[in-house]
Structure 1
Amino acid sequence: MYQKVLQQVLHGSEGVQNIMDDVIVHGSNVEEHDRRLEKVINILRESGMTLNSQKCEFSMSKLVFMGHVLSDQGIGQAYVKVQAVSEACEPKTAIEERSCLGLVTF
């Protein structure tokens, strides 16, 4: 329910990605990022939604999100995920196979 409302509230906001209950604000430079962030904060405030300050991280140049590294260099795989896949053993059972498939596809 919260996710659906959050998506509706932020719909059409430029430079804003909303995945699950996370909101990522990005811009081509610091000024653009800060303008977009201020707009998102105002939209959330006007809609009565709040942010948990303990979970917020601001002005990050690099972000690990859902197994990917997001930065001004582009999108790449997080080292932890690459390492886990490279160290995974060959599956011997159906359960191990599902586990390996889940690791590779996430």
Structure 2
Amino acid sequence: MVLHPRSPVRVLASPRPPRRQRKQPSSSVTANITCFSRTWTNHLQCLKQVFTLIHQAGIQLKPSKCILAEQSVSFLGHIISAEGISSDSDKLRAIADLPLLKDVHDVRAFLGLTSYYRRFMKGFTDIAKPLHDLTKKGEPFLWTNA
């Protein structure tokens, strides 16, 4: 079970009201709970445990926000399924559609983004070496088609 809590953010566009008029802060919490299992029986056991913990904590779920028993899940830029973990094709398409890199800052940002998927690319270090060379201090930034 993976739990990723995120606190809601409230932006005020006007000055705060006087103290006596302020409402009590909201106690709602947004969380992603992901339960992965190899078999349906194990999945049901995992869900039972998760729901028990949620009930004991006094947390209420909004059914319209719950997704149960999916064959594959998009999670943190990956697709997780019974076959294992793979890269999300939408994310890879976004990387492929990036504009040409113009400076060292762009190269560093690109390397950071693509390094996230290095486990799926055989020989990533060799492929990325020319880009890493462009980021060395004192090296002129020369972008060629070679």
Name the TM-score, length of structure 2 as normaliser: 0.54
Does the CA contact (< 8 Å) of 1:88 and 1:100 recur in 2? no
Counterpart CA distance in 2 for 1:91 and 1:26 is: 38
The higher radius of gyration belongs to 2
State percent identity of aligned pairs. Answer: 22
Bigger fraction of residues in helix: 1
Q: In structure 1, what is the equivalent of residue 102 of structure 2?
A: 92
Amino acid at match of 1:104: T
Deviation larger for 88-97 or 61-70: 88-97
Q: In structure 2, what is the equivalent of residue 75 of structure 1?
A: 85
SS in structure 1 opposite 2:62? coil
Shift of 1:32: 0.7
Counterpart CA distance in 1 for 2:112 and 2:64 is: 30
Counterpart CA distance in 1 for 2:115 and 2:98 is: 13
**Inter-CA distance 102–55: structure 2 relative to 1 (3 Å threshold):** farther
Following superposition of structure 1 onto structure 2, how do residues 26-37 of structure 1 map, counting pairs within 5 Å?
26-37=36-47
**Inter-CA distance 35–99: structure 2 relative to 1 (3 Å threshold):** same
Unaligned runs of 5+ in 1: 1-15
Unaligned runs of 5+ in 2: 6-30, 117-146
Deviation larger for 88-97 or 29-38: 88-97
Shift of 1:100: 3.8
RMSD: 2.0
Name the TM-score, length of structure 1 as normaliser: 0.72
Does the CA contact (< 8 Å) of 1:69 and 1:78 recur in 2? yes
Amino acid at match of 2:94: A
Shift of 1:19: 2.7
Following superposition of structure 1 onto structure 2, how do residues 1-106 of structure 1 map, counting pairs within 5 Å?
16-20=1-5, 21-93=31-103, 96-97=106-107, 100=110, 103-104=113-114
